[in-house]
Amino acid sequence: MSTPVPPPYSTPDQPVPPPGAAYPAPGGAYPAPGAAYPAPGGAYPGPGAPSPAQPSATLAIAGLVTSVLGCTALVGLVLSIVALVRVRRGTASGRGLAIAGIVVGALWLVVGVVVAFGFTGLFVGIFQTCAELGDGVHQVDGVTYTCNV
């Protein structure tokens, strides 16, 4: 009696079936055909084919530039956050630019809020002083107030 010859697709870790037994069905223990290779036109371009486009940092650059300008800091902050999300997904580059845009945009927004509250406090103080003094021109502690209540 001779032992059956293993099929060409068997591996050393697969036992050889005993004589007279059927071989295992092909494809059961192996990856599906083509699973180890990319689909046509996939990740491995052929000779002379253009290489896949690298992710760009355009959104991160736009976010940083608009964050630097004080009047568009909110837009720059939003663009930079979107760019950072895309960098983390791997669809864009420019992580450092996106983080810089977030920091600069946030700082400009903080400065804007502080200035807005400062002017609001100033105007509230002036209105209260004029309400107490009444109409006319008044001199208080070296400051001249012209009030029209």
- Residue ranges covered by each domain of the chain: 58-147
Q: Is 10 a residue whose pLDDT tops 60?
A: no
Token pair recorded at residue 146: 């012209």
Q: Which pLDDT tens digit goes with each residue over 64-121?
A: 999 999 899 999 999 999 999 999 999 999 999 999 999 999 999 999 999 988 888 8
In angstroms, rounded to a whole number, what is the distance separating the alpha carbons of residues 56 and 109? 27
The single-letter code of the amino acid at 27 is: G
Confidence band of 126 (pLDDT split at 50, 70, 90): confident
